[in-house]
């Protein structure tokens, strides 16, 4: 009998070892680093992401971060701020004050752009079920809720105020994961509650990420972020990456076209995206009526966005990024190689205010695009002049107006979905004492992995327009104020 038992143990052990060899990736021959492991397991994360404890001035933000395509972590900037939503937006407050507003909710905790379902419901209904719902809220901030939002000084002038595109609200019970993707907009993501972990990848590695499984139309990778198949996505092995953790009260600047994958950790997660079009020029003349270093936040309702013509301008000019002066040949290339002149030279001459046969960025941002579209519609077939029609509604994807069913909730918690509305005192929901001052309140910039590798000169702007000449240096971009 003892012999038989030992033989059975041996068989069971061999069976377990066989299956473990299939399920647990090895880093030996035939198994690349990170194979069948979460995204980022193929190599240690890099450091070097700057960090500061306040919203930077528009000038510093543009010169050091937007222009340089450099992410920025802003620690605890919402704590002690004058943005009402940070303290007010508890479940009880949102349900009581804005519960009647319609919102969009996506099915599943893991983003699925091919097979996901979009539900429509009221915010109150979502709050009553979100803690057990297998889904998450992602919706444009309704107009009524903007009363509790403000725009930080970083985006109040210099042209940023004209390039705001949208404010998106993300709300879940945590555990959500996005695709690895990138966006054609600059993005400041502010966390009102919870914690998020992000994989960030520099846009300069686009060729490696686009090589395998990239969906160009939707700008995302088909890679399974929980279990990366390095045989199917071999180029990912060569991609350096950064790990960023943002907590309640933090904001993160994600530059235009940077790749990122977001994981919201378990627990209440509430965040806002401030999306704005990428700019190639900072207009200092628009900052003369404010102190860009100490100005308070401004109510969001004071900003007119989106502005369709400024959106069209950004899309038209994005291929010219990196050029200091634009020739007629460069300008003509914007309209396609097979495009006859059809007014291109005339448009170039209108924009060229100083008649030097070169266009600079101030000229490209200041000319009246709306009038040019009206006068030369052949050149701008995809842009509708505001003189002719108002902007139409943007068509959305497929939606499902049914109520979430039993399968859309955690199986053992379905009974709680009935009409559950938690009557909590929202003043007691916050898990910290509101600080009287920000312990990070400093202009010092730190890196995510070390201290002070970046030094920023704060240059006060004079009322007159400042012309910035950029000299390219292999090691560093040097800025000279003339």
Please give the helix or strand (H or E) that residue 17 lies within, else none: helix 2-23
Instruction: Report pLDDT for 381.
Output: 86
Q: Would you say residue 396 has pLDDT above 50?
A: no
- Segment among 15-19, 204-208, 251-255 with least mean pLDDT: 15-19
Query: Is 162 found in the same domain as 191?
Result: yes
- Residue 186 is predicted with a pLDDT of 98
Please answer whether residues 293 and 218 qualify as being in contact, where contact means their C-beta atoms are separated by less than 8 angstroms: no
The reply to whether 380 falls in a domain is yes
Does residue 475 lie within any of the structural domains?
Answer: no
> Within this chain, do residues 284 and 328 fall inside the same structural domain, yes or no?
no
Mean pLDDT over residues 110-121, rounded?
Answer: 92
Average pLDDT over residues 81-103: 95
10 is a domain residue: no
d(CA 233, CA 212): 6
Residue that is last in its domain, among 363, 388, 413: 388
Which CATH number characterizes residue 376's domain? 1.10.238
144 in the same domain as 61: yes
Give the model confidence (pLDDT) of 374-395 as tens digits: 999 988 888 875 545 444 443 4
pLDDT digits (tens, 9 = 90+) for 272-308: 999 999 999 999 999 988 887 888 999 999 999 988 9
Please indicate, yes or no, whether residues 268 and 198 belong to a single structural domain of this protein: yes
- Answer yes or no: is 119 within a domain: yes
Give the closest residue to 22 by CA, choosing from 9, 35, 12, 11: 35
C-beta of residue 98 within 8 angstroms of C-beta of residue 123: yes
pLDDT score of 4:
53
Q: Is residue 173 part of a domain?
A: yes
| 439-444 average pLDDT score | 40
Q: 322-362 pLDDT, tens per residue?
A: 899 999 999 999 987 555 677 899 999 999 999 999 999 99
* pLDDT at 6 (0 to 100): 58
What confidence score (pLDDT) does residue 400 get? Answer: 56
**180 and 140 inside one domain:** yes
pLDDT at 98 over 90: yes
Q: DSSP characters for 248-293?
A: TT-EEEE-TT-EEEEEEPSS-EEEEEEEE---S---GGGGTTS-TT
Are 246 and 259 part of one and the same domain? yes
Residue-wise pLDDT tens digits, 197-246: 999 999 999 999 999 999 999 999 999 999 999 999 999 999 999 999 99
Residue 50 is predicted with a pLDDT of: 97
Residues 146 and 191 in one domain: yes
| CB-side neighbour CA atoms (13 Å) of 349 | 5
- Residue 31 confidence class, pLDDT cut points 50, 70, 90: confident
User: 186: number of CA atoms within 13 Å, CB side?
Assistant: 25
Q: Match 């990848």 to its residue by tokens.
A: 201
Residue 297 and residue 317 share a domain: no
Q: Whole domain around residue 315: which residue ranges? A: 309-388
Positive or negative, the Cα torsion across 54, 60, 64, 70?
Answer: positive
Q: How far apart are CA 210 and CA 225, in angstroms?
A: 15
Clarify whether residues 326 and 238 are in a common domain.
Answer: no
Per-residue buried b or exposed e for 328-346, using 16+ beta carbons within 10 Å of the residue's own CB? eeebbebbeeeeeeebbee
Which of 253, 275, 305 is the C-terminal boundary of a domain?
305
174 with 63, same domain?
yes
pTM: 0.79
The token pair at 117 is 């379902």
* Token pair recorded at residue 201: 């990848």
Q: What is the CATH number of the domain that holds 272?
A: 2.60.120.650
Q: Model confidence at 99, in pLDDT bands (50, 70, 90)? A: very high
**pLDDT computed for residue 81 by the predictor:** 77
Domain count, the chain: 2
**Rounded Cα–Cα distance for residues 150 and 34 (Å):** 42
Domain contains 253: yes
E-only strand ranges, 378-465: 446-447
Q: Which long-range contacts (CB under 8 A, 24 or more apart) does 473-479 make?
A: 477/67, 477/68, 479/63
């Amino acid at each position: 009998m003892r012999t038989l038992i030992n033989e059975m143990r041996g068989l069971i052990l061999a069976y377990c070892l066989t299956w473990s060899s299939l399920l647990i990736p090895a880093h030996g021959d035939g198994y690349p680093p990170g194979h069948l492991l979460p995204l980022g397991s193929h190599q240690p994360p890099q450091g070097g992401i700057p960090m500061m404890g306040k919203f930077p001035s528009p000038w510093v933000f543009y010169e050091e971060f937007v222009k340089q395509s450099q992410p920025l972590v802003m620690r605890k900037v919402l704590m002690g701020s004058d943005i009402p939503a940070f303290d007010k937006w508890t479940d009880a407050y949102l349900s009581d004050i804005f519960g009647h507003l319609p919102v969009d909710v996506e099915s599943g905790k893991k983003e699925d752009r091919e097979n996901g379902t979009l539900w429509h419901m009221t915010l109150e209904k979502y709050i009553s079920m979100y803690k057990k719902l297998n889904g998450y809220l992602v919706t444009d901030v309704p107009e009524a809720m903007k009363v509790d939002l403000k725009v930080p000084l970083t985006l109040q002038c210099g042209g940023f105020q004209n390039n705001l595109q949208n404010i998106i609200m993300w709300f879940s019970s945590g555990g959500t994961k996005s695709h690895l993707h990138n966006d054609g907009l600059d993005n400041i993501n502010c966390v009102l509650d919870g914690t998020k972990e992000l994989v960030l990848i520099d846009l300069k590695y686009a060729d490696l990420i686009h090589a395998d499984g990239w969906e160009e139309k939707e700008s995302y990778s088909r890679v399974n972020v929980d279990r990366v198949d390095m045989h199917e996505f071999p180029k990912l092995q060569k991609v350096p990456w950064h790990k960023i953790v943002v907590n309640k009260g933090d904001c993160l600047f994600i530059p235009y076209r940077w790749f990122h994958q977001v994981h919201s950790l378990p627990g209440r997660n509430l965040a806002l995206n401030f999306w704005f079009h990428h700019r190639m020029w900072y207009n200092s003349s628009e900052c003369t009526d404010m102190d860009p270093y100490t100005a308070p936040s401004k109510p969001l309702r004071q900003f007119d966005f989106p502005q369709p013509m400024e959106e069209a301008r950004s899309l038209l000019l994005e291929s010219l990024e990196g050029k200091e002066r634009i020739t007629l040949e460069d300008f003509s290339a914007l309209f396609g190689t097979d495009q006859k002149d059809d007014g291109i030279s005339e448009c170039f001459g209108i924009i060229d205010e100083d008649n030097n046969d070169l266009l600079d960025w101030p000229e490209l941002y200041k000319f009246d695009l709306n009038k040019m579209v009206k006068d030369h519609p052949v050149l701008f077939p995809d842009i509708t002049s505001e003189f002719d029609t108002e902007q139409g509604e943007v068509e959305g994807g497929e939606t499902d107006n049914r109520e979430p069913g039993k399968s859309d909730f955690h199986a053992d918690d379905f009974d709680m979905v009935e009409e559950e509305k938690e009557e909590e005192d929202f003043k007691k929901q916050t898990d910290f004492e509101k600080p009287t001052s920000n312990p990070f309140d400093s202009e010092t910039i730190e890196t995510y992995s070390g201290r002070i590798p970046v030094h920023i000169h704060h240059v006060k702007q004079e009322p007159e327009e400042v012309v910035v000449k950029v000299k390219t240096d292999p090691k560093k971009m040097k800025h000279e104020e003339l």
